[in-house]
Structure 1
Amino acid sequence: MAASTRLRIAVALLCWLLAATPGLGQVGTLTGTVRDSVTQAPLELASLFLANTTYGASTTAKGEFSLPNVPVGQYDLVISYLGYKLYKRSVVVRPGPQTLTLLLTPSAQQLREVVVRPNPNREADYQRFVQAFLGQSTFSRQCRIRNPKDVYVDYDSDKNELTATSPTFVQVDNAALGYRVKYYGLKFTQNFREQYVVFYGWPVFEEMKARSERERRRWAANRDQAYRGSLTHFLHSIYTSQVVPAGFLVQKMRIVPNPKFPRADSLAKALRLARRNSVFSPADQDSLARWVKVPRAFSMLYTAPRPLDSLRRVQPDSGRVWLRFRDYLQVTYQKEAPDPSYSTPRPVSAAAAAVLPKGQLSTLVLLKPEIEIQKNGQLTDPLGVFTDGYWGFEKMGEFLPLDYAPVSSAL
Structure 2
Amino acid sequence: MHKTLAFLLFLLPGLALGQGRLSGVVQDSATHQPLAFSSVFLANTTLGATTDDQGRFEFPKVPAGTYEAVGTYVGYRLSKQTITIGKAAAPQQLTFLLGSAGPQLGEVVVQANPHREEDFKKFTSYFLGESTFSQQCHITNPKDIVVYTNDSTKELTAAAKNFVQVENEALGYRLKYFGMFFTYNPETDFVAFSGSPVFEEMTPRDAAQQRQWEANRATAYIGSFPHFLRSVYTGQLRANGFMAQQVRIMPNKRFERLEPLSRRPAGSLTDAEQDSLEVLGKLAPAFATLYPAARSLDSLRRVADGRVYLRFTGELQVAHFGEAPDRNYSEPMATLGPEPRKQPYPAQREVSRLRLQTREAEIRPNGTLRNPADVSTGEYWGFEKMGEFLPLDYQPPVLAPTPAK
Measured in 2, the distance between the counterparts of 1:49 and 1:193 equals 36
Alignment length (residue pairs): 388
Amino acid at match of 1:164: A
Is residue 193 from structure 1 mapped to residue 182 from structure 2 by the alignment? no
Amino acid at match of 1:306: R
After TM superposition, the structure 1 stretch with the greater mean CA deviation from structure 2, 134-143 or 382-391, is 382-391
User: Contact 2:111–2:146 (CA<8 Å) still a contact in 1?
Assistant: no
Question: Of 326, 334, 339, which aligns to 1:339?
Answer: 326
CA shift, 1:96, in A, is: 3.7
Q: Secondary structure at the match of 2:319?
A: strand
Go from structure 1 to structure 2 and tell me whether the alpha carbon gap of 1:97 and 1:302 turns closer, same or farther (over 3 Å shift): same
What is the match of residue 6 of structure 2? 12
With structure 2 as the length reference, what TM-score do the two structures score?
0.87
Question: Of 17, 38, 41, which aligns to 2:30?
Answer: 38
Amino acid at match of 2:313: R
What is the match of residue 160 of structure 1? 154
User: Contact 1:19–1:379 (CA<8 Å) still a contact in 2?
Assistant: no
With structure 1 as the length reference, what TM-score do the two structures score?
0.85
Go from structure 1 to structure 2 and tell me whether the alpha carbon gap of 1:15 and 1:90 turns closer, same or farther (over 3 Å shift): farther
Q: Secondary structure at the match of 1:133?
A: helix
Q: Percent identity?
A: 48
Question: Of 358, 363, 370, which aligns to 2:360?
Answer: 370
What is the match of residue 4 of structure 1? none
CA shift, 1:367, in A, is: 2.4
Measured in 1, the distance between the counterparts of 2:395 and 2:8 equals 21
Is residue 27 from structure 1 mapped to residue 19 from structure 2 by the alignment? yes
Measured in 2, the distance between the counterparts of 1:379 and 1:295 equals 33
Amino acid at match of 1:335: G
Go from structure 1 to structure 2 and tell me whether the alpha carbon gap of 1:189 and 1:353 turns closer, same or farther (over 3 Å shift): farther
Q: Secondary structure at the match of 1:403?
A: coil
Measured in 2, the distance between the counterparts of 1:78 and 1:173 equals 21
Is residue 127 from structure 1 mapped to residue 121 from structure 2 by the alignment? yes
- What do residues 349-375 of structure 1 show as CA deviations (whole Å, max 9, x unaligned)? x99999996511101112222222233
Is residue 325 from structure 1 mapped to residue 315 from structure 2 by the alignment? no
Q: Secondary structure at the match of 1:131?
A: helix
After TM superposition, the structure 1 stretch with the greater mean CA deviation from structure 2, 376-385 or 243-252, is 376-385
Amino acid at match of 2:249: I
- What do residues 266-313 of structure 1 show as CA deviations (whole Å, max 9, x unaligned)? 44455xx75xx9x9xxx9999876432311110000111112221122
Question: Of 71, 80, 85, which aligns to 2:72?
Answer: 80
Aligned counterparts, 1:194-343, within 5 A? 194-268=188-262, 290-315=279-304, 319-343=306-330
What is the match of residue 3 of structure 1? none
CA shift, 1:134, in A, is: 0.2
After TM superposition, the structure 1 stretch with the greater mean CA deviation from structure 2, 61-70 or 215-224, is 61-70
What is the match of residue 139 of structure 2? 145
What is the match of residue 400 of structure 1? 390
What is the match of residue 49 of structure 2? 57
Gaps of 5+ in 2: 105-109
Amino acid at match of 1:406: P
User: Contact 1:19–1:74 (CA<8 Å) still a contact in 2?
Assistant: no
CA shift, 1:107, in A, is: 2.2
Measured in 2, the distance between the counterparts of 1:346 and 1:222 equals 22
CA shift, 1:91, in A, is: 2.2
Measured in 2, the distance between the counterparts of 1:285 and 1:214 equals 63
Amino acid at match of 1:10: T
Measured in 2, the distance between the counterparts of 1:233 and 1:352 equals 27
Go from structure 1 to structure 2 and tell me whether the alpha carbon gap of 1:287 and 1:353 turns closer, same or farther (over 3 Å shift): farther
Measured in 2, the distance between the counterparts of 1:196 and 1:340 equals 23
Go from structure 1 to structure 2 and tell me whether the alpha carbon gap of 1:285 and 1:82 turns closer, same or farther (over 3 Å shift): farther
What is the match of residue 107 of structure 2? none
CA shift, 1:382, in A, is: 2.2
Q: Secondary structure at the match of 2:229?
A: helix
User: Contact 1:347–1:353 (CA<8 Å) still a contact in 2?
Assistant: no
CA shift, 1:157, in A, is: 1.6
User: Contact 1:27–1:96 (CA<8 Å) still a contact in 2?
Assistant: no
Q: Secondary structure at the match of 2:184?
A: strand
After TM superposition, the structure 1 stretch with the greater mean CA deviation from structure 2, 378-387 or 338-347, is 338-347
Amino acid at match of 2:301: R
Question: Of 103, 106, 115, which aligns to 2:97?
Answer: 103
Measured in 2, the distance between the counterparts of 1:308 and 1:392 equals 23
Report the RMSD for the aligned CA atoms in angstroms. Answer: 3.1
CA shift, 1:141, in A, is: 0.4
Measured in 1, the distance between the counterparts of 2:195 and 2:36 equals 24
Gaps of 5+ in 1: 1-6
User: Contact 2:9–2:368 (CA<8 Å) still a contact in 1?
Assistant: no
Measured in 1, the distance between the counterparts of 2:157 and 2:339 equals 38
Measured in 2, the distance between the counterparts of 1:360 and 1:216 equals 27
CA shift, 1:100, in A, is: 2.4
Question: Of 375, 382, 385, which aligns to 1:385?
Answer: 375
CA shift, 1:393, in A, is: 0.4
Go from structure 1 to structure 2 and tell me whether the alpha carbon gap of 1:261 and 1:27 turns closer, same or farther (over 3 Å shift): same
CA shift, 1:245, in A, is: 1.9
